[in-house]
Amino acid sequence: MAADPFQLFDEWFAEAQASEPNEPEAMAVATTGKDAQPSVRMVLLKGHGPEGFTFYTHEQSAKGEDLAENPRAALLFHWKSLGRQVRIEGPIESVPDAEADAYFASRGRDSQIGAWASDQSRPLDRRATFERRFEDMQRRFDGEDVPRPHGWRGYRVVPQRMEFWTAREHRLHERRQFTRAGDDWTEGLLYP
């Protein structure tokens, strides 16, 4: 048994990056708002370490609004090629503005412009409207750096519980659970 779930995640993530055919950083993020209705969607992991697991979105997106109402989330990585899953649960904290600015600046220009053109999660009358807005933003920022839009931010899940699941024959799977106790972690096994 390992005492450090972050080290184990790093090992598994490196193996997924080497073997998973499509976006090993893809993870499901589950949130609930004040109505307690669960909502889940796929996002991309943009940073991880002992401080937590980071993704980016607009604070007025459905997930951003959920997180404002209930600042907790659950994450799920599923690496089918390895027969592994990692579940992570915990409270959310906002990424500092300087970190969000640096990540936004590292994105491709079209992705940056797309963040300005999109009213994320809001109703859209037709695809042509979004495409026109994208073209408008291309003209607006022609020849200029594209700044991070107001409200576009990073969120970090600070893990309180991490589960590492390994597929085994006959559905006799292995489940290792780490639970935070202050600054330390306790580890145990769960029945499959």
In angstroms, the Cα distances linking 175 to 9, 26, 99, 145, 161 are 14, 21, 34, 47, 13
Output the pTM of the full model: 0.92
pLDDT tens digits, the chain, 192 residues: what are they? 567 999 999 999 999 999 998 899 999 999 999 899 999 999 999 999 999 999 999 999 999 999 999 999 999 999 999 999 999 999 999 999 999 999 999 999 999 999 999 988 889 999 999 999 999 999 999 999 999 999 999 999 999 999 999 999 998 899 999 999 888 999 999 999
Tell me the C-alpha distance between 98 and 134, whole Å: 25
The active-site residue, picked from 41, 139, 171, 180, is 171
Report the alpha-carbon angle 26-31-37, nearest 5: 135
| 171 is an active site residue | yes
The residues near 134 (Cβ < 8 Å, ≥ 6 apart) are 113, 114, 117
Q: Which CATH architecture has domain 5-107+150-190?
A: Roll (2.30)
Token readout for 1 is 């048994």
